[in-house]
A = this chain, B = another copy of it.
Amino acid sequence: MSTITISGVQKKYHQKPVLKDVNLAIQPNQIYGLLGRNGVGKSTLMRIIANRTRIKVGTVTLDGESVFENERAQNRIYLMSTAKLLPQEEKVFKLFKLIKTMYGDFDEAYAEHLAEAFELDTHSKLRKLSTGYQTIANLIIALCLPCDFIFLDEPVLGLDANHRELFYQELAETFSSKPRTFVIATHLIEEVSGLLNHVFVIADGKVSLDEDVEVLQQRGRQISGPAALVQDYLQGVPVLHTTRLGGMMTAYCLQTPLERPLPAGVSLDGMNLQRLFIEVTRKPGGRDEI
């Protein structure tokens, strides 16, 4: 099975290193979350994989071949972003036909189904659609293309709650009926978390977390109770962050000493993925020691 392998990728912007040493493997038939704070280089990394930005250091391969300037590899990769790369003067239904002639297997019937579900006016020119509907047209194309690796950069930015929910539902359905790989960069982590199999977190130019969502959700814990008892329970354990309210403390951890007996009055709960992300990506200054 085909894998995209990213090795030692570096990229500077205006002399400033953004990506310092990125290494990761994108497997077939997975839904990945590509997470990171604003400005950390998620879009840059996707643009590199999709051959839209060049790099001097590092490699990106598919089936062992570099994906750069490689038409065969790039035909299997699609990057949907907010960038207006599609012809703005074209009517949407003509755009679908145009794309069908370019990619033989574009799923026109599914595109029509999606346009109807989203109430997208396919007889409008792309340019005349609202920003939200331009995003939706972009999303529909991404879901109907016959590519093996589909990268979605902030796919739901500015969409209302109804359209976001519809998109998540359709993504789940098309993934289950025709498995392929989606890589989703988004700041709306909690909403999308139910869809994700695996998460990459980029921080300080590197992959700081590369883990299955199921494992992460087992590892992430929040421990609350009287501060002295929480501190005692977590003695010697790395803590991501603590908050205090009066004499009470909540500590967020990825390694919980489950073998120790939990003191009475202390509670131990799971962390949802967005909370876990927030705690994992706090600036070092915000880290707490117990």
Using a CB–CB cutoff of 8 Å, the interface residues on chain A facing chain B are 36-39, 119, 130, 132-133, 154, 157-165, 187-189, 274, 277-278, 281-283
Contact B163 A38 (CB under 8 A): yes
Residues of B within 8 A of A189 (CB): 161
Instruction: Report the separation of the CA atoms of residues A37 and B189 in the bound assembly, to the nearest whole angstrom.
Output: 21
Contact B38 A132 (CB under 8 A): yes
Contact A162 B281 (CB under 8 A): yes
Residues of B within 8 A of A36 (CB): 160
8 Å CB contact of A39 from B37, B132, B162, B187: B132
Known contacts A119-B283, A163-B38, A283-B119: does B130 contact A158 (CB below 8 Å)? no
Instruction: Report the separation of the CA atoms of residues A187 and B158 in the bound assembly, to the nearest whole angstrom.
Output: 7
Q: Assuming A154-B158, A162-B282, A188-B188, what are 10 further A-B pairs, CB within 8 angstroms? A: A38-B130, A38-B133, A39-B130, A119-B283, A158-B187, A159-B187, A160-B281, A161-B274, A162-B281, A165-B278
16 contacts between A and B (CB under 8 A): A37-B160, A37-B162, A38-B130, A38-B158, A38-B163, A39-B130, A154-B158, A157-B157, A158-B187, A161-B189, A161-B274, A162-B278, A162-B281, A162-B282, A165-B278, A188-B188
Residues of B within 8 A of A278 (CB): 161-162, 165
8 Å CB contact of A159 from B38, B159, B162, B163: B38
Residues of B within 8 A of A164 (CB): 187
**Residue on B nearest A157 in the bound complex, by CB:** B158
Residues of B within 8 A of A162 (CB): 37, 278, 281-282
Residues of B within 8 A of A161 (CB): 187, 189, 274, 277-278
Instruction: Report the separation of the CA atoms of residues A31 and B163 in the bound assembly, to the nearest whole angstrom.
Output: 25
Residues of B within 8 A of A160 (CB): 36-38, 187, 281
Instruction: Report the separation of the CA atoms of residues A188 and B37 in the bound assembly, to the nearest whole angstrom.
Output: 18
**Cβ-closest 5 pairs across A and B:** A38-B132, A38-B160, A160-B187, A37-B160, A162-B278
Instruction: Report the separation of the CA atoms of residues A130 and B283 in the bound assembly, to the nearest whole angstrom.
Output: 18
Instruction: Tell me which of A38, A159, A277 has the highest count of chain B C-beta atoms within 10 A of its own C-beta.
Output: A38
Instruction: Report the separation of the CA atoms of residues A132 and B157 in the bound assembly, to the nearest whole angstrom.
Output: 13
Instruction: Report the separation of the CA atoms of residues A22 and B260 in the bound assembly, to the nearest whole angstrom.
Output: 60
Least distance between A134 CB and chain B CB atoms (Å)? 11
Least distance between A202 CB and chain B CB atoms (Å)? 12
Least distance between A39 CB and chain B CB atoms (Å)? 5
